[in-house]
Amino acid sequence: MSTAVLFLIPAKITNALNSSYILVVKNEKSKVILHQFPPVVHALREKTMPLHDRFTSWSSEIFDGSISRDRYLHFLKLFYGFYTPLERLALARDEWHGLSFNLRERLKSSLIENDMLAFGVSETEIGAVRLCNSLPEMKSFVQILGGLYVIEGATIGGQHIYQKLHDLKFLNGGDGASFFRSYGDRVMPMWAAFCKMLGQVANDDQAIEEMVQSAVNTYNSLGSWLARLS
């Protein structure tokens, strides 16, 4: 189903409680759908917003058009090295069985694998990519979700990067860019569903605080990973 984002409106205008914004989207039948963000998403957004610049600074080479094929592939490997261990930790949790949520359809490491294969990287080489061994503490399910908040939120900014990638000659018709495209025109509905799930799990102050701290730690860890190896 094709869905377009119309706009974000302040919650006070719509008298929505415990939410700073409502996501307004319209599906292919022109039906307007309102997605109210739960309190935990507001807390996550507030605490992680100052960290965005550190996380996104690596992409300047894409936006100014200076990135080379080898450099682009290097960044794919860096993201693969961080996303893969995080997603493995998430997949190992039993708590998913009690939620109506399909994590497997959201895995980004498989998209990066496809992109690397499109660039001629062998499966043996992919298996030898260095994985991050310094992820922040993620012993609880709530901490795992804080980490996933970071990489799910990145799918939104990834759409801007994907559009810019079309200008790069070494990408043949978009092959090798599925990681940044992620869900395509389903990004915002997928984001809304993810946020709804976060609200179901983090429904008290302690859980919210734990999830927010994990997200902050994940941003810092990813920023350090990209900066150290870039």
DSSP-assigned states of every residue in the chain:
--EEEEEEEEHHHHT-SS-SEEEEEEETT--EEEEEPPHHHHHHHHHHGGGHHHHHGGGHHHHTT---HHHHHHHHHHHHHHHHHHHHHHHT-GGGGGSS--SGGG-SHHHHHHHHHHTT--HHHHHTSPPPS-PPP--SHHHHHHHHHHHHHHHHHHHHHHHHHTT-TTSSTTTT-HHHHTTGGGHHHHHHHHHHHHHHH--SHHHHHHHHHHHHHHHHHHHHHHHHH-
Q: Do both 31 and 54 map to the same domain?
A: no
Q: Do both 153 and 211 map to the same domain?
A: yes
Look up the domain containing 18 and give its range.
1-36
Q: Report pLDDT for 20.
A: 45
Q: Do both 104 and 140 map to the same domain?
A: yes
pLDDT mean values, one per 10 residues, the chain (230 residues): 39 37 47 69 92 76 89 95 98 95 96 95 97 95 98 92 85 82 92 94 96 96 84
Q: Do both 88 and 165 map to the same domain?
A: yes
Could you give the number of structural domains in the chain?
Answer: 2
